[in-house]
Structure 1
Amino acid sequence: MTVEVFEHPALTTAAAQLATLRAAAGRLGVADPVAALRHLDCSPSSIRTSAAAIDTGGLAVTAAQAEFRAGVDRAENGGSAETFGTWADTVDGQYGAAARAAASTAALGVRIADRLDELAVAASEEVCALAAAASTAVSAVLDGDRSAEVVSEVGATCAAVVRAVQEKVAALTALAAELEPLTAPAVQLS
């Protein structure tokens, strides 16, 4: 049996543990439990890496803002026109908004990665427990038994795996709502 590799290691482990259930499901023509796992596949480590890069970028913006502010202070104390001060305050505010947006986005990325990780691990544990509970019926089907009892148990287990994955995917709705603010520019440059 070929074991599928997923981005999330817990799902790869679950796929390996679901291999016999998958084989029985294939013989019976019921839902493929391993295919259901694809709907939850994710790479929290990649998301965390991206969040760290955004955070680093935000720190660079904060440093640039501090340098800009120091230059503005020098220019204003040197007798520059009032309009320069107003323009400088606007640009300084944009720097600040960009830095806050970067920090917020980075924090959101970490929260999303953590939640995806939690969901993938929880789903893996749940579906592995379901498969283990049905192992006798799965073995019977693989040995050629097509009695209503074992066929029903394997089919019900596959359906339970699909439901478990669907419930975890449904939990992602809250994360999607948190992403909504990222669809608009964080800072409107003037």
Structure 2
Amino acid sequence: MTAEVFEHPALASAASQLSALRAAAGRLGVADPVAALRHLDCAPASIRTSASAIDTGALGVTSAQAEFRAGVEHAENGGSTETFGAWADTVDGQYAAAARAAASTAALGVRIADRLDELAVAASAEVCALASAAADSVSAVLDGDRSAEVVSEVGATCTAVIRAVQEKIAALTALAAELEPLTAPAVELS
């Protein structure tokens, strides 16, 4: 069996540590515990990099807003019309809203990356402990033992691994709710 590639290092390590359990599960025709880990695989470092880029973009928008505001104040003091001032205030508000939205998105990206990382690390530790506890039964199955006791323990361990992963996935629901505001434009341009 070839090793599967995972983005998250803790999940890659867990997959490696579950290889014997996976082999035993395959011989017994029960659910693949390593395949369950795939549902939690993530790349928090990439998400953090994207969040940092968004944050840098927010700083650029804030800087552009400051330059715009300085130009507006100069134009208003030079005798420009009231219409220009109202338009400039609207554009200035849009700059501010865009900068706030970008900064908020960046902060959310960091929170999401941190939470995904926590869940992947916690799941990895939990499933490795489960596999370790069943190591004797796994070895027995791999050596050809099909007694009810060892078969039951291997099957129960695979089920427990899947359940542990499902619980971590369920914890992502709150993160999904935080993403909802990002589905609408942050700023409506006029």
Same fold (TM over 0.5): yes
Does the alignment pair 1:31 with 2:24? no
Report the Cα distance in structure 2 between the residues aligned to 1:56 and 1:9, rounded to whole angstroms.
27
Report the Cα distance in structure 2 between the residues aligned to 1:139 and 1:5, rounded to whole angstroms.
24
Does the alignment pair 1:89 with 2:86? no
What residue identity is the alignment partner of 1:19? S
Report the Cα distance in structure 2 between the residues aligned to 1:52 and 1:126, rounded to whole angstroms.
31
Identity percentage of aligned residues: 86
Moved over 3 A (4+): none
* Residue equivalent to 1:3: 3
Report the Cα distance in structure 1 between the residues aligned to 2:49 and 2:96, rounded to whole angstroms.
23
* Superposed CA offset, 1:98-137 (max 9, x none): 0000000000000000000000000000000000000000
TM-score (norm 1): 0.99
Q: CA deviation at 1:24?
A: 0.1
* Residue equivalent to 1:56: 56
Local SS of the residue matching 2:189: coil
* Residue equivalent to 1:124: 124
Please, which runs of 5 or more residues in structure 1 have no aligned partner? none
* Superposed CA offset, 1:121-180 (max 9, x none): 000000000000000000000000000000000000000000000000000000000000
TM-score (norm 2): 0.99
Q: What number of residue pairs does the alignment pair up?
A: 190
When the two chains are superposed, the root-mean-square deviation of aligned CA atoms in Å is: 0.5
Q: CA deviation at 1:5?
A: 1.6
Q: CA deviation at 1:4?
A: 1.4
* Superposed CA offset, 1:5-38 (max 9, x none): 2000000000000000000000000000000000
Report the Cα distance in structure 2 between the residues aligned to 1:110 and 1:162, rounded to whole angstroms.
27
Report the Cα distance in structure 2 between the residues aligned to 1:142 and 1:148, rounded to whole angstroms.
14
Local SS of the residue matching 2:164: helix
* Residue equivalent to 1:15: 15
What residue identity is the alignment partner of 1:53? A
